[in-house]
Amino acid sequence: MADNEGNIDAKDFGVGIPQKQDGFFLKGNENACYGIKSRLSRIFNPNSGRTVMLAFDHGFIMGPTSGLERIDLTINPLLEYSDCIMCARGILRSVIPPTCNKPLSLRFDSGTTILTSLNDETLEDIEEAIRLNASLLAVMVAIGDPDHEGSTIRNLTKTVDMGCRYGIPTLGVTAVGKNLTRDARYLGLATRVCAENGANVVKTYYCDENFERVTNSCPVPIVIAGGKKLPERDALQLAYNAIQQGASGVDMGRNIFQSDSPVGMLLAVREIVHNGATVDQAFEQYETYKNENKKPCGCCCCK
Ligand code: 5RP
């Protein structure tokens, strides 16, 4: 217990040395509050400025997606290789061990499924997000969807307001409507609208042409979704292109957990995102891990 007598005199005041002022490493978040910056610093590696998020929230609209039938068996072994996990609260509470201690990007909205209209969403309770120790609040924004654009932007706005109140950053997730093209014009508009409405980070898709226009015109970091399963080399190429053109990371799901070597893919993607690996180097990392960790198939050579 501190007392007020007999203490060594304080004398090392660093007179003449200006107090160190560190700029914040993530673009567009310099003026955010301490809690938001602290949480973002757990998600994004302050050395590389980037993140590898593992997304397995698909079930909230798609049911038991291939690779996510038994999250305890397929996803839990991957958690340690990610920088952040993205999932819905039900799966978090029922299957993800609290001891995994990874920052959580919580799917903060819920609503309709792929069987109906999609994107007709409501928000969860901010106190629930705090109870679950969320580091990021993920909300779908359906720009250009005539039925749900307004309601999803209002959801984003409410989430940003609540997040600012409690120091939790918001991830705006651009949803692509059935009649919209995933080109730079659309993605540029959608990501910018998310950022203008206060998202601290935006998740979107990569596009082959002019993606750097999308990242450059968005004032906050962009992470890309992987989309449908591709051959491993193509998925690594996608991650590489996105990073080269200004993305601050990936928030990938199917191209990780539907791979024949999910850990190998995660390690390979990490090499691209954090360590500047080329596609060839990352693919070699994936193949090496896969070959060294082949499960015995029971044939005479494996016995
Ligand atoms: C759904 C999502 C998913 O998390 C996202 O699409 C990432 O998964 P994938 O890499 O499989 O596309 O945000 O709204």
Q: Which atom of ligand 1 is nearest to the CA of 86?
A: 4
% pLDDT > 70, the chain: 96
For residue range 81-97, list pLDDT tens digits in order. 999 999 999 999 999 99
Which pLDDT belongs to residue 4?
A: 82
* Band of pLDDT at residue 300, cut at 50, 70 and 90: low
Q: Which atom of ligand 1 is nearest to the CA of 203?
A: 13
For ligand 1, whether the C-beta of 86 sits within 6 Å is: yes
% pLDDT > 90, the chain: 86
Exposure pattern of 32-58 as b/e (b: 16+ CB <10 Å)?
Answer: beeebbebbbbbbbeebebbbbbbbbb
Angle subtended at Cα 292 by Cα 83 and Cα 226, rounded to the nearest 5 degrees: 40
For ligand 1, whether the C-beta of 252 sits within 6 Å is: yes
Q: Which atom of ligand 1 is nearest to the CA of 175?
A: 14
Q: Average of pLDDT values for 3-30?
A: 92
Q: Distance between CA 35 and CA 50 in Å, rounded?
A: 19
User: What's the 55 CA to ligand 1 centre distance in angstroms?
Assistant: 6
CATH class label, 34-223+249-254: alpha beta
Q: Average of pLDDT values for 160-166?
A: 98
Residue 28 three-state SS? coil
For ligand 1, whether the C-beta of 60 sits within 6 Å is: no
User: What's the 301 CA to ligand 1 centre distance in angstroms?
Assistant: 39
Q: Ligand 1, from 106, 251, 265, 269: best to mutate by most atoms within 8 Å of Cβ?
A: 251
* Band of pLDDT at residue 3, cut at 50, 70 and 90: confident
Is residue 254 within 8 A of residue 228, CB to CB? The reply is yes
What are the DSSP calls for 167-190, one per residue? T--EEEEEPPPTT---SHHHHHHH
Q: Ligand 1, from 58, 78, 224: best to mutate by most atoms within 8 Å of Cβ?
A: 58
Which pLDDT belongs to residue 82?
A: 98
Q: Average of pLDDT values for 10-24?
A: 92
Query: Is residue 302 predicted with pLDDT exceeding 70?
Result: no
Is residue 96 within 8 A of residue 80, CB to CB? The reply is no
Which pLDDT belongs to residue 294?
A: 84
For ligand 1, whether the C-beta of 226 sits within 6 Å is: yes
Confidence (pTM):
0.94
Q: Which atom of ligand 1 is nearest to the CA of 229?
A: 11
Query: Is residue 303 predicted with pLDDT exceeding 60?
Result: no
Residue bearing the CA closest to ligand 1, atom 8: 253
User: What's the 173 CA to ligand 1 centre distance in angstroms?
Assistant: 9
Q: What is the mean pLDDT of the chain?
A: 95
Q: Catalytic residue positions? A: 203
Is residue 171 within 8 A of residue 138, CB to CB? The reply is yes
Q: Which atom of ligand 1 is nearest to the CA of 57?
A: 4
For ligand 1, whether the C-beta of 173 sits within 6 Å is: yes
For residue range 164-212, list pLDDT tens digits in order. 999 999 999 998 666 678 899 999 999 999 999 999 999 999 999 999 9
CA distances from 288 to 260, 267, 276, 285 (A): 13, 11, 18, 5
User: What's the 255 CA to ligand 1 centre distance in angstroms?
Assistant: 10
Which pLDDT belongs to residue 295?
A: 75
Q: Ligand 1, from 57, 86, 140: best to mutate by most atoms within 8 Å of Cβ?
A: 57
For residue range 106-143, list pLDDT tens digits in order. 999 998 888 988 888 999 999 999 999 999 999 999 99
Is residue 243 within 8 A of residue 273, CB to CB? The reply is yes
